[in-house]
Structure 1
Amino acid sequence: MSLNPLKRSFDTMMAMLKVKELSEDAIMTTDSPSQSFMSTDSGAMDINNENDLKYSGRDVHRLSSSHLGTQSTQHVNTFIVDQHGSHDSTSTTGQTLNTFQYFADLPSKVRLLIWSFAAPAARTRFLELHTYNTIDHTPRLRYIPPLPPLFSTNQEARSFSIAHEGGEIVTFTSSTFTDLLSFHGRKIGEPEDEEEEEKGFYFNFNLDIIWLSVRFTAACNTTETLRLTTLSSILPPTTLSRIRRLLISYSGIDSYALIGPLLRPYSHLTTLYLCMNDERVRENVKTLLMKGIPAKGAMGDKLRSMIEQAEAEETDDEEESEENEKERLAVRQWRRVLEVDTKLGE
């Protein structure tokens, strides 16, 4: 088989994938979360407002799970190049073609090279947990900006993307959770290939930020304390201890009296953001905020004070090693609690 058609097909495919990535990647051009935040009190954080784009986000559906090296051609959005070397995207019948029939036959190293050209650079993403279902204990996910298209191409591309982005698959504590790392094709929870998939989602502990928004439940009426309580129940302690940044939306109905002890398992939490402009907050709370009630910075200060008070009163954990205790207390010394407005859009 001549390599010229393959080379031309490869060039065409790369051009198409890059065009597709540009439309997806126009949301956030830096891995700094400050581009999605605005401080509500002076001096709280440095802000770069140059990239003030908004994005609606996209709920996650089921990923295709083709086995490595098989059926890859069904998932590659590219053009077939005819045997005469034409770059026309239409066949002799005049119909547009959207598959590259030789992709699965390429050596694995070549396929990985193609994925590397198509993959964007790793970046900070906000992971919103929302619409938590108290019947089957299932939250839904929204990544902002969305995961790259390679996450929903096939199993090989997904595995490459996870390694390339530097994250991992995080699992939930209960076997009753539906698969949140799911993309196009089947109903949520439906087994694939007659085998139940592991229940989890993609997350990068070094870059990503978990967002507990007002719509954590469909009623949009939960307190910050209740949302943290639920999060602590659906993720194992080893996962909670690795979370570095957490964004939680202001409800207007939480006294924060019980929130301090809930944060102890979050031993590596360096920044807790309190979002003051969640568009789904109750109308009476939104009206008060527009009137300047509470004053800017007041709730962030209150939350910080309640956490510090609870931590000052806590007792030693006999099961915690001395090394882990020192590390947890060291992180706590420079942990920040910041009241912010977000620019994440709807």
Structure 2
Amino acid sequence: MYNILDFDMNELKEWMEQNKESKFRAKQIVDWIYKQNIWDFNGMKNLPKSTKEKLTNSFYIDIPKIVEMYTSKTNDTVKFLYEFRDGNVIECVVMKYKYGNSICVSTQVGCRMGCKFCASTLGGRIRNLSTGEILAQILNAQYKIKDRISNVVLMGSGEPLDNYINVLKFLDMVNSNYTFNIGQRHITLSTCGLVPKILDLADKEYQLTLAISLHAPNDKLRKLTMPIANEYSISEIIDACKYYIKKTNRRISFEYALIKDLNDMDECAYELIKLLKGMLCHVNLIPINKVRERNYEKSSLSNVKRFYDILEKNGIETTIRREMGSDINAACGQLRRSYLKSKNDLEGV
């Protein structure tokens, strides 16, 4: 049995031919799934009974069950905790802006990158999500909020470039007109800095936004919170980013989570300026979310503002990420972590 959401249009047409069905049936099926939100083959009214039987015997439509769903008090954020067929849970977040709805999707169950300020890494990586399992997060969220998703951020649980093949296929499928028709310029992919994969992605010349989780201006400081810094230096990451810019002419976004008394000092800001000066980039400052299992605290608002001012005055385009959904555990990995802990407590684990 296969998850039909893992099949792109060409693969589904090929399956139809191999199973003595007309190729145009593939278009009918994906229209039912992605346009009509019909996730049961028996509900696809224009398919012959024999075709439905073949589909039922060969495929399932893996739309995850919504275990928990929270809406923030300000109604700008909706968080979903999904459970897949194998019992694994992941989360995604829909953020409502004036320009449209943006969804932050997970690409793995857990994460093995070990970043010490992120709840997703607690417990490590369980498995990769398939292409269809990433697409299904959008399908289900779009159905629940009864509105179109216009922007996608691959910044939920997991390292997207550690699930490279499935993520690449997702990028192609989410961009296609038979699914969501979301333009590449409305997609952001975040990575902690897997240099070889950044170079590979650059060669694809996608027009998406690449976001680098930097969080420190030098290797010594970065190694304190990000184990990946022991494998790839900041210098190597910057070189890969310059190659990406050269190949795509797209601006790089550098994510910088401000941690009190660790990386929020003035000298860090000036070192970051020296590192990024002259690049086609911008810095996104993130007031870090509190993770109970970690000892890090977010910078004060005055420190965040001073850091921002230093960068801006020295020609580095900078934004401060607006906090959304803090009342519903909207930070990456927090809801899943809370759910698993509660479940284990109930089961006596």
Alignment TM-score > 0.5, same fold: no
TM (normalized to structure 1)?
0.32
TM (normalized to structure 2)?
0.32
Higher strand content, 1 or 2: 2
Higher helix content, 1 or 2: 2
By relative contact order (CA 8 Å, sep 6+), the higher-ranking structure is 1
Q: Which has the larger radius of gyration?
A: 1
